[in-house]
Amino acid sequence: MKREYELVENAVGRLVPTVVNGKEQVPYMGVAKHRPEGRKAAPPIASAADYPADGDKVVKDLRTALEAAGLKDGMTVSTHHHLRNGDFVANMVFDVAAEMGVKDLMWFPSASFPCHARNIEHMDSGVIHHIEGSMNGPLGRYCSEGRMRGMGVLRSHGGRYQAVQDGEVHIDIAVIAAPTADPFGNANALEGPSACGLLGFALADSQYADKVIVVTDNLVPFPCVPWQIQGNYVDYVVAVESIGDPEKIVSGTTQITRSPDRQLIAELTARFVREAGIMRDGFSFQAGAGGTALAFAIYLKEMMKEAGVKARFVRGGSTQYLVEMLEEGLTDYILDGQTFDLEGVRSMRENPGHVWTSPFTSYNYNGKGFFGTMVDVVVLGATEVDVDFNANVVTHSDGVLLHGIGGWQNCLFSKCTILPIPSFRDRIPVLVDEVTTLVGPGELIDVIVTERGIAINPARRDLLDAVRGSDLPVRPIQDIKADVEKIVGGPPARPEFGDKVVAAIKWVDGTVIDCVRQLP
Amino acid sequence: MKREYELVENAVGRLVPTVVNGKEQVPYMGVAKHRPEGRKAAPPIASAADYPADGDKVVKDLRTALEAAGLKDGMTVSTHHHLRNGDFVANMVFDVAAEMGVKDLMWFPSASFPCHARNIEHMDSGVIHHIEGSMNGPLGRYCSEGRMRGMGVLRSHGGRYQAVQDGEVHIDIAVIAAPTADPFGNANALEGPSACGLLGFALADSQYADKVIVVTDNLVPFPCVPWQIQGNYVDYVVAVESIGDPEKIVSGTTQITRSPDRQLIAELTARFVREAGIMRDGFSFQAGAGGTALAFAIYLKEMMKEAGVKARFVRGGSTQYLVEMLEEGLTDYILDGQTFDLEGVRSMRENPGHVWTSPFTSYNYNGKGFFGTMVDVVVLGATEVDVDFNANVVTHSDGVLLHGIGGWQNCLFSKCTILPIPSFRDRIPVLVDEVTTLVGPGELIDVIVTERGIAINPARRDLLDAVRGSDLPVRPIQDIKADVEKIVGGPPARPEFGDKVVAAIKWVDGTVIDCVRQLP
């Protein structure tokens, strides 16, 4: 019997479902308020007696592997987004499942991209029941329109590790696309035509799934060294012609913003980091691969050189710009979670200054600490921010679910979180009274940098004091918002939603912080 | 109520206890006959909310850490033998426990050495109830004499991982001695005054123990890179003056045998590997750090150079001799489990041809395969071998428990297992009718090389055929044994044991293969 959900108000005043896809939920209780109970998930004990003594786990094709792994109706199958919008493997999996006549699968991707749009057919035909995982683009819209049978569940990278570790999501079969692998299942993403850097998003799956299949287009003799996925967790290996389209896996080069407004925002952000005293010897920062974040890193780099300051570590996504900092001795290490361009992949292969991290090391909240809290300053994006500094990254003001959470929620735990954002986009204000979807609580968001000024969270008196007397354009967030509304003619129209909840938004500890409603 | 054990006969005809330290046992059923049931052990779920946000887990001393970890009567506390006979930390732990007035602890070392003899006092006084783990030297004798309150349990390196993974041993508190660590608990053994190479014996403990304490004498700023133990598993970090005596941690250099008999045995072993066709391009071998094994490696190396043959990998314990092979291009990789001399540590720090392995990757039988089965030939020692090729490594013919199993049982799964051994020691025959303690079943032991000839297990017709026509002195094992008995005047006297079982010997799958009785 399918349990129905009710809606209850959580600690940030959002109505959230009490049951998601048949599982009882804990509503969000506030930052560091919820304590998990019980013990971690426990996969079945295997025996080497059931695996080939010569270590050769290669089977002839993906169907053979999925059949051997016992694929059947209602199972949960996971894939990963290391190959981003160039991935072929997640589509192969559900094509084979369709061929096999299997139904009602839960697809548990670390993220899905527009290249996975054909899985919409598999949802329409009943092969896939629903998706729990980031849905970028068309799959997000499909979910928003209420066409998916189950509820979407969005988790951060750390939250996905947490959910698997804690047994909230039991993966029956994990399928890991690996740019290089050996017949035992050891795998990495450093070599091969589809090299993409790292395989950390599949770590939890390899550790906790009942069955693990590695799919590669570059099979090498044992041992595949270094291994990022350990063959000792792997059941079957499949060699295919190609696992992805290299042109879409990593950018040839990452692109810095050319917009003068975005450049101004990036420069203000870097200046804030300097003026607030964060940029000091041995500090650390994280910035993504978006155009503004890249520009920020370049401004900061110049300021660091000028001041003779060296970082202890930078958290990646590696890009050519971070690689330059490493090579110029401006940081001891890059702590990589993924890799965004070819220079990043090359450097990761060659330079031991790259430290491989994973959602377990960097982001898992239900662990004995995580690296994210040790980062001095992190620079992130947002689709909306409200006057209480709550922020949204998954929907736009029109209510359409178009983005995943990524590591965004996990990064909020840094010592200083800055959102450099334009104050409006396409004449729609980004600063609002109330965010459409609350993904990050305002108490963790410290600074908003716009082209019209810098707003500091009033709770961070220390930051307000630190930049007092500087020539930075610090202003109350309400003032910036009022300016914008004057320009565009008022606040954005609120979308009209249906009643149905189409997706739940998880907080890093597994509680439900908000949900997304069906579009009319 | 303490459950009493009975003795039942297992698949190799040994009487073994049905209950060990209150836990039901499965008697050994034969190679690859037992299938484990159930799921892996599941440690408690933690929350980052309970750990310092700045990542600094350093507490002022070991007592503080043990108190914070909740040390109390009857708990299981683990330590490791990375620092071998130079370790200070295992003694510190029980000295503190004694100070705290804690009683009845189970000590679960990966191995104990003569340097830990003072823990005999802590057993006499009741602080330590019993030891499950390798007992080398005085602690083994203490156990043999029936003075320990609980039963000793000997496990292979792989069996120790298996026991922890499968929940047979629940570790309450793991104390990991780390030559280098950061305040978050990331640790390695590559740098610092006590550098010893690797920390793999503590892997299971870090993953599965309720609480994990890292003790270091070389605290470095975050991140300690590369990490061998992940700080995300660590609760507390303690900085001490010194964790060990460098002179006793690794040898300055490893010593090759000078005995002409042993050299002959080593040479015959290498010639066997060549003549049997095992030494071919892309092959792999494992040899330990004993004098004969080292001499074997040197002979083999010369033969490889002569024949123009290159190995794909060598399994270590790295020594200067394996390092030379790597540096001379005679092998692509060394797959290291530990490191036996300073050259090994240096090379491991500098040469990416060293691949770090652990009991999980190389030896864990209750997993999805393990590396040990992929090794073409392994060269091991033994204290006794019987005419059915069963072998003993833990007791001598006088019945005294003096050695641990190490990786020995796990290595038996290689494609060809060779025991190069003298046919007698101190006028006591090594070849016997029945081994005192059966640690490795004859069906996995392929070749015995003595100074009086080579005995091939009749079950290995392929090996007998492969060396037919060579000038190797191949003889039936009974003939060699008869020769020896003629020289020394008969088979060794059988020791007279008491009734009490003082130690259980586990097989790699967790079943009980034999036991050790109390000395009279």
Q: What is the CATH number of domain B260-496?
A: 3.40.1080.10
**For residue A252, pLDDT beyond 80:** no
Residues 6+ positions from A192 with CB-CB distance below 8 Å? A179, A180, A216, A217, A218
> In chain A, what residues touch B57 (CB-CB under 8 Å)?
369
> In chain A, what residues touch B221 (CB-CB under 8 Å)?
282, 312
Q: Is A332:A313 a contact under the CB 8 Å cutoff?
A: yes
At residue A290, the pLDDT reads 86
A217 in reach of chain B (CB within 8 A): no
Phi–psi pair at B237, nearest 5 degrees: -125, 135
> Which residue's structure tokens are 């999980």?
B360
Q: What is the per-residue pLDDT across A34-53, written as a single tens digit (0 to 9) for each? A: 999 999 999 999 999 999 99
pLDDT confidence bin for B2, thresholds 50/70/90: low
Q: Is B72:B97 a contact under the CB 8 Å cutoff?
A: no
Inter-chain touch B369–A55, beta carbons under 8 Å: yes
Question: For strand A173-178 and strand A211-216, is the pairing parallel, antiparallel, or unpaired?
Answer: parallel
A361 in reach of chain B (CB within 8 A): yes
**For residue B215, pLDDT beyond 90:** yes
**For residue B395, pLDDT beyond 90:** yes
A437/chain B closest Cα distance in angstroms: 25
Residues 6+ positions from B345 with CB-CB distance below 8 Å? B190, B195, B196, B197, B250, B318, B339
Q: What is the per-residue pLDDT across B150-189, written as a single tens digit (0 to 9) for each? A: 999 999 999 999 999 999 999 999 999 999 999 999 999 9
**For residue A87, pLDDT beyond 90:** yes
B52 in reach of chain A (CB within 8 A): yes
B55-132+169-249: CATH topology: Glutaconate Coenzyme A-transferase (3.40.1080)
Q: What is the per-residue pLDDT across B484-518, written as a single tens digit (0 to 9) for each? A: 999 999 999 888 888 899 999 999 999 999 999 99
* Share above pLDDT 90 across residues of chain A, in percent, rounded to a whole number: 92
Residues 223 to 282 of B: which have CB under 8 A from any A CB?
A: 223, 225-226, 230-235, 282
Using CB atoms, which residue from B41, B212, B232 is nearest to A364? B232
Inter-chain touch B41–A42, beta carbons under 8 Å: yes
Inter-chain touch A223–B313, beta carbons under 8 Å: yes
Question: For strand A428-429 and strand A424-425, is the pairing parallel, antiparallel, or unpaired?
Answer: antiparallel
> In chain A, what residues touch B30 (CB-CB under 8 Å)?
none
User: Which residue from B324, B296, B325 is spatially nearest to B310, judged by alpha carbons?
Assistant: B325
Nearest Cα residue in chain B from A335: B223
Q: Give start and end residues of each alpha helix (H) in B223-290.
A: 246-249, 260-275
Size of interface A-B (CB pairs under 8 A): 180
At residue A1, the pLDDT reads 42
What's the rounded Cα separation, in Å, for the pair A426 and B109? 65
Q: What is the per-residue pLDDT across A447-482, written as a single tens digit (0 to 9) for each? A: 999 999 999 999 999 999 999 999 999 999 999 999
Four-way CATH pick for A260-495: 3.30.930.10, 1.10.510.10, 1.10.10.60, 3.40.1080.10:
3.40.1080.10
3-class secondary structure, B25: coil
pTM equals: 0.97
**For residue B38, pLDDT beyond 60:** yes
Q: Rounded mean pLDDT of B411-422? A: 98
Q: Rounded mean pLDDT of A169-180? A: 98
> In chain A, what residues touch B54 (CB-CB under 8 Å)?
373-374
Inter-chain touch B369–A226, beta carbons under 8 Å: no
- The boundaries of every CATH 3.40.1080.10 domain in chain A are 53-132+169-249, 260-495
What's the rounded Cα separation, in Å, for the pair B302 and A468? 73
What DSSP character marks residue B341? Answer: B
Which CATH class for the A53-132+169-249 domain? Answer: alpha beta
Query: Across-strand partners of B420?
Result: B449
Query: Across-strand partners of A461?
Result: none
What's the rounded Cα separation, in Å, for the pair A208 and A231? 14
Q: Is A148:A123 a contact under the CB 8 Å cutoff?
A: yes
B112/chain A closest Cα distance in angstroms: 28
Instruction: Report the residue of A31, A37, A39, A45 to disrupt the B interface, i.e. the one with the largest count of B CBs within 10 Å.
Output: A45
What's the rounded Cα separation, in Å, for the pair B316 and B288? 7
A58 in reach of chain B (CB within 8 A): no
A329 in reach of chain B (CB within 8 A): no
At residue A2, the pLDDT reads 55
ipTM of the complex: 0.96
- The boundaries of every CATH 3.40.1080.10 domain in chain B are 55-132+169-249, 260-496
**For residue A406, pLDDT beyond 80:** yes
Inter-chain touch B230–A369, beta carbons under 8 Å: no
At residue B494, the pLDDT reads 86
Q: In b/e form, how buried is each residue of A101-139, taking b as 16+ CB within 10 angstroms?
A: ebbebbbbbbbbbebbeebbebbeeebbbbbbbbbbbbb
Instruction: Report the residue of B47, B166, B234, B333 to disrupt the A interface, i.e. the one with the largest count of A CBs within 10 Å.
Output: B47
Instruction: Report the residue of B28, B31, B45 to disrupt the A interface, i.e. the one with the largest count of A CBs within 10 Å.
Output: B45
B113 in reach of chain A (CB within 8 A): no
